[in-house]
């Protein structure tokens, strides 16, 4: 895709839901979209997420780097969130996750990668600095998002203001339960707080790509996409965004009411042609 067609695609502002047959196919489509954006704009500012859903996306981006020469050398990244009190070298930190799953496997300049500082003594100042760094980079071009079972994007737990900015946030019991697997199965070992981009910070990105897979996400995904916009489900705020793609597998799509329409869009709209095969 040329730089011009990238901006033409961006000019067609809308929210779309794309349903793929499996988690692998959903991750493949998400990674192809990211790769297309990176090829069109090598200095892309990419917003990144962690979590199990994203591992498949990062594996595919690494494969594209190795097999197709996808170039990360001048792209810049900003992660959504980080646990408070977990140092970057700890395997539970999101900095460690990113280095492990993506950064150490591609030709990215680590100086161009950013993860919120969960060890800062002044968390408020560090959060403001993070917002400033995003601004100085020219804003986020594409923000990758997962969705938590509590309906969060980033760690924007229920009642996160839709205009919130990067800040620290207490995690819900459901979120700590959901993430216990990475802490030996014990929810009490999951940190109680995290620094997260705000909902407003996320909505400022020029394009959103939300990826969700698996049966456990079906109910919350349907609420986020087809339900009312509410601060109780921060993911529902994506409905306010003019350029948002929701990429899901069959299991995550099970509770959507309008899937025939979503399928028709993917099968018929011309900008999806190159991604159908
Ligand atoms: C992680 C993040 C979270 C996750 C969400 C889904 O950086 O921002 O919102 O995307 O909790 O996590 P998984 O993919 O593990 O189900």
| Cβ atoms within 10 Å, residue 119 | 18
Is any ligand 1 atom within 6 A of the Cβ of residue 146? yes
Is any ligand 1 atom within 6 A of the Cβ of residue 51? yes
Mean pLDDT of 185-195: 98
CB 97 within 8 A of CB 89: no
Supply the pLDDT for residue 8: 52
Is any ligand 1 atom within 6 A of the Cβ of residue 26? no
**Higher per-residue pLDDT: 1 or 190:** 190
Supply the pLDDT for residue 12: 60
Instruction: Tell the residue nearest (CA) to atom 12 of ligand 1.
Output: 51
H or E element, residue 169: strand 167-170
* Residue 4: pLDDT band with limits 50, 70, 90: low
* Residue 2: pLDDT band with limits 50, 70, 90: low
pLDDT digits 0-9 by tens, 221-269: 999 999 999 999 999 999 999 999 999 999 999 999 999 999 999 999 9
Q: pTM value?
A: 0.95
pLDDT digits 0-9 by tens, 161-176: 999 999 999 999 999 9
Q: Please give the Cα distance from 142 to 209 (Å, whole number).
A: 7
Supply the pLDDT for residue 13: 67
For a pocket test of ligand 1, which of 26, 51, 102 has the largest count of ligand atoms closer than 8 A to its C-beta?
A: 51
pLDDT digits 0-9 by tens, 36-57: 999 999 999 999 999 999 999 9
Residue 182: pLDDT above 90?
Answer: yes
Q: Please give the Cα distance from 260 to 136 (Å, whole number).
A: 42
CB 248 within 8 A of CB 20: yes
* Residue 100: pLDDT band with limits 50, 70, 90: very high
From ligand 1's centre to the CA of 4, what distance in Å?
Answer: 32
Supply the pLDDT for residue 6: 53
Is any ligand 1 atom within 6 A of the Cβ of residue 49? yes
**Higher per-residue pLDDT: 11 or 141:** 141
């Amino acid at each position: 895709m040329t730089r011009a067609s990238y901006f033409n695609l961006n000019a067609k502002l809308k929210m779309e839901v794309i349903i793929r047959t499996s988690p692998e196919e959903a991750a493949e489509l998400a990674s192809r979209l990211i790769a297309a954006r990176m090829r069109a704009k090598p200095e892309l500012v990419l917003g990144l997420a962690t979590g199990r859903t994203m591992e498949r996306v990062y594996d595919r981006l690494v494969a594209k780097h190795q097999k197709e020469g996808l170039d990360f050398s001048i792209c810049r990244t900003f992660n959504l969130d980080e646990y408070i009190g977990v140092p970057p070298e700890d395997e539970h930190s999101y900095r460690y996750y990113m280095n492990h799953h993506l950064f150490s496997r591609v030709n990215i300049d680590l100086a161009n990668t950013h993860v919120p500082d969960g060890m800062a003594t002044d968390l408020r100042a560090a959060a403001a600095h993070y917002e400033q760094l995003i601004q100085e980079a020219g804003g986020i071009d594409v923000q990758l998002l997962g969705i938590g079972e509590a309906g969060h994007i980033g760690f924007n737990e229920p009642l996160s203001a839709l205009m919130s900015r990067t800040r620290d946030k207490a995690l819900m019991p459901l979120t700590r339960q959901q993430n216990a697997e990475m802490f030996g199965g014990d929810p009490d070992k999951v940190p109680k707080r995290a620094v997260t981009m705000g909902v407003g910070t996320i909505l400022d990105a020029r394009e959103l790509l939300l990826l969700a897979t698996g049966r456990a996400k079906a109910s919350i995904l349907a609420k986020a996409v087809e339900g009312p916009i509410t601060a109780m489900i921060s993911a529902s705020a994506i409905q306010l965004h003019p350029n948002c793609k929701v990429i899901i597998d069959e299991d995550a799509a099970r509770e959507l009411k309008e899937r025939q329409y979503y399928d028709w869009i993917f099968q018929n709209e011309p900008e999806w042609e190159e991604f159908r095969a």
